[in-house]
Amino acid sequence: MARMTNQFRTGLITAAIALIADQASKSYLLHVYDIVTHGAVRIAPFFDIVLVWNRGISYGWFQAETGLAQALLLTVKLVAVIALGVWLWSTTSRLVALGLGLIIGGAIGNGIDNLLYGAVVDFAYFHLQWGGRRFDWYVFNIADVAIVAGVIGLLYDSLRPSPAAKAP
C-alpha cells in the first residue's frame, strides 16, 4: 500500500476542519439556538443570521425538489468528492492540497445536510442599503465559503507561473 504523503494528510486535515466547522455551526443554529423558533438575528446593519433550506447545490444553484433529483444531486456530489480525493492523493502542491481539502470538506458538509434534512442549511445573509438601492447576497453557509475558498486556491495555483526547469 502506498504511503500517505504530507500533502494528502494536509488535505484530509483541512477537509475535516471545514466539515467540523460547517456542521458545528449548523447544529448550533438548529439545535442549541433553535433558529426555527427564534427566527432571524441581526448581527450588523449588513449581516443577518437567517434560516434558508437550500434544495440545490452551493448558493441555491440546481434546485432539486423531488427525492429522485436530490438522490441524483447527492450522487454527483459523491462522485465529485471521490474524484477530488484521487486528485488530492496525487498532488505534490500544498496549495492544491489545501484547496481540495476545503472543497471536499464543504461538499461533504452540504451532503450530510441533504441526508439529514433533505436540504442544505444556509444561514449567512449579507445585504447593503446604499444610495437608495438595496443589494442582497446569496444566503450561504461555512461549507459554501470553504468550497469557494478552495476553488480560488486552485485557480490561483493554476495561474501562477511554474518554477523554471533547472538546466543540467
Q: Active-site positions?
A: 122, 144
CA R_g for the chain: 18
Q: What whole-number distance in Å separates Cα of residue 108 and Cα of residue 31?
A: 20
The DSSP annotation for 3-46 comes to PPPHHHHHHHHHHHHHHHHHHHHHHIIIIIS-HHHH--EEEETT
Q: Which residues contact 86 (CB under 8 A, 6 or more apart)?
A: none
Cell digits of residue 116: 439529514
Lookup: cell for 123: 444561514
